[in-house]
Each structure stands twice: as C-alpha cells, then as structure tokens.
Structure 1
Amino acid sequence: MDVRERVVKLLCDYISIPSVSGEEEELSERYASDLERAGLEVEIDRLGNVIGRRGEPEVCLTSHLDTVPPDEMEKPFEPRIVDGKLYGRGACDAKANLAVYATLAEIWDGPLEIIAVVREETDSAGIRHVLRRGEIQANHVINGEPTELRPVIGHKSRVEVRLCIEGEPKHAGSHNPENPILKFCKILHDLHEMLEDLEDALGVPTANPTSVHSRGVATNVTPQCLEAVLDVRLNTQLSPEDLERFFHEVEGVSAEIRAGAPPFVLSGDEPVVRALREALSARGLPDEPITWPASTDAGYIRNLGGKDVVVFGPGSIDYAHSPSEHVPIEELVDAVRVLYDVVEYLSS
C-alpha cells in the first residue's frame, strides 16, 4: 500500500470512530495500536492521551483525538471522498494529522515522538496533563491543526468574558443613563479604544460580542439587566488579569473571565521553523510563516512546556467545525512527505 492509500485508509478509519470531546476512549485505543504496529513504545495515560516514542527523538508531533459534536453535519462518521476531498467530522480538525503521523511512523524508522491528546476542543486538559508530567522529550514540536500546510509561528489566546450589567427599569420614553444596553455600548467602545493601542506581532487584540440578552418586562420599559458574552482574542500585550481590572473598574458590572491557551509567537528563526520552511519550499509549497486567528494547544506547549512549536497541518480552518468539514487528499500526501523531510533533517 503506497503513502496515498495508507493515509487515506487511516483517516477514513479514524473518522468512522466518533470521538467528541470526553468520548475519545475507542479512538485512543485504536491509535495506540497503530503506533505500536509502526514500532513505537506506546502508553495511554489516565486521561486517555496517547504517547508514542521511539529512540531519543528530536521531533515531537502532537495533535488531538477529539472533535466538536457533529451538529448538522450529514452522516458525520461515514467518510466519503468527493472531488479529491475527504469529508467527515474531524477530517481536518484534526484527525488528518493523526493519519499523517501514523503513516509517517510506518515509513520513517528513526527516532520519533507522537502525542495525541484528549479534550483540546473543550478545556485542553489533555495537553496540560502531558506537560505537567514532562512527557514531551523532543526539542522541536509540530502541533497538528488545519493550516493549509502553512507554518504558523504564533496565535492569540481566546478568552471568554461573561458579563452581567445591572440597570434600572424605567419608562422607555424617559432619559435613563442606567439603561444596561447603553452601558454595554459604552463598555464596548471603551474596551475597543484600549485594545487599539496594544498591537504586537500578532496584531491588535479583538473583542466581539457573541451573545447578548436583556431582561425587560415590556418593550416600552428599559431592562433591569443585560447579559452578554464576549469572545476576546489576546496578544502578548494583554493578559486575562488586565481584562479583569478593566471590568472591575466599571460600576454595576460583574465579569466572569474564562481563559484558554495563552498566546505565543516565535521569531521565525528557530530550527523547527527553518526545517519546515525548507521542506515546503523544496516541494514548491508556500513556506512564508504566518500567524493565526484561532487558539490551539501550541500556546500551552510554548508557555508551559518551553518548547519551540509550529502549528502545521492539512486542511483549512474555514471548514473546521462546519457541516462541510473536509481535507484535500493531496494535502494529506504532501503533509506526510514534508514532515518526513523535517523529521529526517532535525534527527540528523
């Protein structure tokens, strides 16, 4: 079986095994079996993370076993190929990487580390557990996500802010500065003004309302309370603690801050970045490093693990989590060949 047939076969198998966050056990066992068959020593830890290792590796390939729920996706666990694209839940986010890594492990017989974690889509408990145990032994890390085979050397952090803004119900025909909707508008204005002055290599932080609900007794009465959720993307110039201080200073507002993976950014001159760029360039693929709007486990790998990490993998973030999630088969094959070159170079 050649590389194309093998990586497609594995990805179809993995898509066929549902692994929504918190329900990864069956896929963990299957993936561990595939890595063992490829000659790695494998452990499944108590959370369900799969840790495979051969020799004294210089490169660690990481990705995640879990997916978001299928929601409205038609036949999410029945992989199908249409016009050179493989469809199914997890096709690009991120089971494509699992298939690429397992295929690579079969054709590369040198030192290698592969870690597939659980719960990336919820609380990143998997990678945090791996890092607390010091399981990443390699010096160079590639974290698999759908980047369209572009090397991602930095991304922002996602923070969810849940606001409750108290107001005073009054006749809507009167002037009411305590209207919580008006308060919310001013909070957004002031927050955006603050964010505009905090640009770094990742750009400016952003804050977007994703849910707004006001509680009023009638449409001609100003509401007593407004509840809102903000999706805030932090760069290296703004911390969750800074956000807490901002909202703490606003009277009549309570804010619950839920922070995710921290932001990270590399210089672009790290050995793993150079090796990946050279491998991409040699195959005529775009090699210019980029930063990314999404948050990944790479933020933890860099900040908690202290490792040089690049986010890289087949498929597009535009189709992740969507009813039309897919990955181009050609990108699967290119990913195997590019990573083979990277692992070979950094292991020499």
Structure 2
Amino acid sequence: MAVESTHPALEHSAIDTEGRQLLTELVSIPSVSGEETAAAERLAGFFEAHDREVWIDDIGNVRAPGDDTVLLTSHIDTVPGEIPVEIKDGEDGPELWGRGSVDATGSLASMAIAAVETGASFVGVVGEESTSRGAWYLTDHRDSPDLIINGEPSGWGGITLGYRGLLEGTYVAASESGHHSRPDLNAIQHAMSWWDRVETIFEPDEWVPVFEQVTTKPVDIEGGVSVDGLSMEATMEFQLRVPPERTPDEVRELSDAELDIGTVNWTESIPPVMTNPRTELARVFRAAIRDQGGDPRLLRKTGTSDMNVFATKWDCGMVSYGPGDSSLDHTPNEHLPLDEFDNAIDVLIDVCERLGVGDEVASDDSEAATDTEAAQ
C-alpha cells in the first residue's frame, strides 16, 4: 500500500519498482535522530500492506517478526542536513539524491523488500546516529537471532566484517579569572594541554592502517569567562575510536593518566567488533555477490555502528551490508545509484534463500507485541 505523495522524485520514470518507490518515499521523509516517527510509520505501513505482523515498539523501532534464521536490521534515522530529493542521471544510470539515501535508508529499504520476499525477520531501529538507543533496547527486549545482517553502506559488492569501537567523553576545567597578561594557565589552556598529551599518546602512524589505530577527535569546545565573571571555564567534548587490538578500558586509562587539571566524564563506551571472514554467512554473501556478477570485497570500517552493539550483547554470526558508497555518508552530495540498490536487494534475497530462510518460519520475538506497542 503506497502512501500518496506529490514529491516530484516519485514521478520520475526511474521509480518503476516497489522497492525504488519505498526508498524514494523514505528518503523524502525527514528522519533525523529523535524525529523518526513519520518514517517509521511509513515503513510499518509497507509491512502491513504485505500482510506481515508489524508494530512500533516503545522506543520507536519498527519490528516485523519472521524467520529468525536471519535478522535483517538497519537504522531509520539520519544525520541533520537537507539535500533536495531528486533523481539525477549518473555515469551508471539514475541516482537518487537526498539525505539518508546512502546512510542508511538504502540499506533499510533493500532489507524491507528482502524481508517481505523471503519471510526473514526485520527490525528498523532508531537512534543509530546518536546513542544507538534502538539497538540497545532491542538487545534487551528480544532473544538473539541465529544470524544478523546489519544494514550499512558497503557497496553492493562489499561485506563489512569489522568496526572500531567508540569512547566519548567531556573534559571540564575551571580556573580563577585574571588579566590575560598573566602567565598562569587558564582553563582553556588546561583543556588544550591535556588534549595535546592525549593526541601524543595515540599519534598516527602512517605505516599502520587507520582501522588498527586509536584516532582522536574533538567534536565541540566552549570556553571563556564565567557568567559571574569570577572564573574561566572550558568544556570540550571528544571521541576516541578504538581498534580491535585494544579495549575501551585500556584507552580510557591511558587518557586518564595524562589528566592533572580538570575532570573527564566518560559518556559512551562501545567495544570494537571484528568477525571471521570464513564464517558461513560471509561465504554465502561472497557466493551471492558473484552470482550477481560482482567481485566480493571484505571491508573494515573506521567508524562504529549498531553491529558493535549487537556483538556486545548477542553471540551470533553477523556482517554489515548495504548499497552505497560510504565515503558519501553525512556529506552534502549523498546519493545512491538505483541500479546498485536493485543489486543489493537481489543479493539479500539470494543470501536469505541460501541460508534456508522461509523453509521453517518461526517468530523472531520472545515477547509478543503489547497492546500499547500495537496501538502505536
């Protein structure tokens, strides 16, 4: 059941399949983290139109139970930034431009189509671009599936096996106010000094792949004279990415050891994940990609995804997969070739069928939808 839309992109001749229509509609609905309701309702409506059990749970995830041999899951939310939704002619055919087309609405829509075609379990999660609240909630409110395919852009011929972990924190310092000509270090300088020492510990090595290094990034900083004029204050938010060779605890301890002035509040800690390329799931993906005429590539991502969360809580095989060039994530020129989207759907369907999805359908959730959830 398609939702009526007057968006011009939906009138383009290239939007000629149900999958492409769903993709374009979802990209056309703003779904920044925390504001996913409209997109979630459209996604739930797609499953309802195909007579699939579906509900939106208490945190906002779209859950469509099915054969739990494979759980297809991707995130509904996007980062901020408006990009006009339109179809453009690219080198390899029509491309859909718009925020989320690559990260990760292309993955989300391709998985929804594959779930309907094969009967696989499906969950569209919220909040991946912020706190991964949808994934954390999911792992606390359902049993582990047999296998997970997490939707993130890898290119239709790529399979992502690993992600670095994430440490987030906030540094806070204060110092007495005084004339700027005084040699005493103020709070801003204390913040700069501590961060310089942290960067020195994890100084980049040009001979080592980025995936195997700890990288440091300040993401926000504020400082200056306090409101009452009696002190100088500094607050810096930062991120550290953690490779599989290290643990978040180890990286945190090394950073804390350099702290002499001020305090650090560690707000997020997500371990890295690296899966074996020789698993049955990875093997089946390689075979399916080859059957579609592709050349399989095994990838390691320098960022962090919901796959890290699932690996922390569930002991099952998993990979990340989805159409799109991940170098376009969060950029102002985010766009997805529609032929690549179609190829990803075919690969996902082939993978599910090779794994026996649909041979014996079982419920994906250990809990039934409550009246409250079903009414949402």
TM-score of the pair, normalised by structure 1? 0.84
Please tell me whether the aligned partners of residues 201 and 265 of structure 1 are also in contact (alpha carbons under 8 angstroms): no
2 CA distance for matches of 1:305 and 1:49? Answer: 18
2 CA distance for matches of 1:41 and 1:112? Answer: 12
1 CA distance for matches of 2:125 and 2:143? Answer: 12
Q: Specify the SS of the correspondent of 1:148.
A: coil
Show the counterpart of 2:37: 25
Instruction: Sort the Cα spacing of 1:88 and 1:200 in 2 relative to 1 into closer, same or farther, 3 A.
Output: closer
> What is the deviation of 1:24?
2.2
Please point out which of 247, 264, 268 is paired with 1:255: 264
> What is the deviation of 1:213?
3.9
Please tell me whether the aligned partners of residues 111 and 151 of structure 2 are also in contact (alpha carbons under 8 angstroms): no
2 CA distance for matches of 1:200 and 1:238? Answer: 18
Please tell me whether the aligned partners of residues 22 and 119 of structure 1 are also in contact (alpha carbons under 8 angstroms): yes
Q: How many residue pairs end up in the alignment?
A: 333
Q: Kindly provide the amino acid, as one letter, of the partner of residue 34 in structure 2.
A: G
Show the counterpart of 2:28: 16
> Given the alignment of the two structures, is residue 342 of structure 1 paired with residue 342 of structure 2, yes or no?
no
Please point out which of 251, 275, 279 is paired with 2:284: 275
Show the counterpart of 1:194: 201
2 CA distance for matches of 1:4 and 1:338? Answer: 19
Instruction: Sort the Cα spacing of 1:120 and 1:74 in 2 relative to 1 into closer, same or farther, 3 A.
Output: closer
After TM superposition, the structure 1 stretch with the greater mean CA deviation from structure 2, 278-287 or 82-91, is: 278-287
Task: Report matched runs for 1:319-338 at 5 Å.
Answer: 319-338=328-347
Please tell me whether the aligned partners of residues 27 and 99 of structure 2 are also in contact (alpha carbons under 8 angstroms): yes
> What is the deviation of 1:52?
1.3
Show the counterpart of 1:227: 235
> What is the deviation of 1:266?
0.9
TM-score of the pair, normalised by structure 2? 0.78
Show the counterpart of 1:122: 130
Instruction: Sort the Cα spacing of 1:16 and 1:170 in 2 relative to 1 into closer, same or farther, 3 A.
Output: closer
Task: Report matched runs for 1:81-96 at 5 Å.
Answer: 81-83=87-89, 84-96=94-106
2 CA distance for matches of 1:3 and 1:268? Answer: 35
After TM superposition, the structure 1 stretch with the greater mean CA deviation from structure 2, 337-346 or 42-51, is: 42-51
Please tell me whether the aligned partners of residues 223 and 233 of structure 2 are also in contact (alpha carbons under 8 angstroms): yes
Q: Percent identity?
A: 27
Please tell me whether the aligned partners of residues 56 and 62 of structure 2 are also in contact (alpha carbons under 8 angstroms): yes
Q: Kindly provide the amino acid, as one letter, of the partner of residue 86 in structure 1.
A: L
Unaligned runs of 5+ in 1: 218-222
> Given the alignment of the two structures, is residue 290 of structure 1 paired with residue 302 of structure 2, yes or no?
no
After TM superposition, the structure 1 stretch with the greater mean CA deviation from structure 2, 232-241 or 290-299, is: 232-241
Q: Specify the SS of the correspondent of 2:78.
A: coil
Q: Kindly provide the amino acid, as one letter, of the partner of residue 30 in structure 1.
A: R
Show the counterpart of 1:80: 86
2 CA distance for matches of 1:208 and 1:201? Answer: 14
2 CA distance for matches of 1:135 and 1:49? Answer: 15
> Given the alignment of the two structures, is residue 314 of structure 1 paired with residue 294 of structure 2, yes or no?
no
Instruction: Sort the Cα spacing of 1:196 and 1:279 in 2 relative to 1 into closer, same or farther, 3 A.
Output: farther
Please tell me whether the aligned partners of residues 153 and 291 of structure 1 are also in contact (alpha carbons under 8 angstroms): yes
1 CA distance for matches of 2:273 and 2:189? Answer: 35
Task: Report matched runs for 1:46-125 at 5 Å.
Answer: 46-54=58-66, 56-69=67-80, 71=81, 73-75=82-84, 79-83=85-89, 84-108=94-118, 111-125=119-133
**What is the alpha-carbon root mean square deviation over aligned residues?**
3.1
Instruction: Sort the Cα spacing of 1:210 and 1:234 in 2 relative to 1 into closer, same or farther, 3 A.
Output: same
Q: Specify the SS of the correspondent of 1:116.
A: strand
> What is the deviation of 1:172?
5.9
1 CA distance for matches of 2:28 and 2:194? Answer: 46
Instruction: Sort the Cα spacing of 1:247 and 1:166 in 2 relative to 1 into closer, same or farther, 3 A.
Output: farther
> What is the deviation of 1:112?
0.9
2 CA distance for matches of 1:344 and 1:145? Answer: 21
Instruction: Sort the Cα spacing of 1:214 and 1:31 in 2 relative to 1 into closer, same or farther, 3 A.
Output: closer
Q: Specify the SS of the correspondent of 2:346.
A: helix
1:312-332 C-alpha deviation (Å, 9 max, x unpaired) = 111123323333222111110
1 CA distance for matches of 2:25 and 2:38? Answer: 12
Q: Kindly provide the amino acid, as one letter, of the partner of residue 279 in structure 2.
A: E
Show the counterpart of 1:220: none
Instruction: Sort the Cα spacing of 1:125 and 1:113 in 2 relative to 1 into closer, same or farther, 3 A.
Output: same
> What is the deviation of 1:129?
1.2
Show the counterpart of 1:264: 273
> What is the deviation of 1:260?
5.1
1:24-70 C-alpha deviation (Å, 9 max, x unpaired) = 2232222122123334322322222111123x33111100122223x
1:291-318 C-alpha deviation (Å, 9 max, x unpaired) = 1122111101111122222111111233
> What is the deviation of 1:216?
5.8
Instruction: Sort the Cα spacing of 1:262 and 1:7 in 2 relative to 1 into closer, same or farther, 3 A.
Output: same
Please tell me whether the aligned partners of residues 168 and 238 of structure 2 are also in contact (alpha carbons under 8 angstroms): yes
Q: Kindly provide the amino acid, as one letter, of the partner of residue 79 in structure 2.
A: V
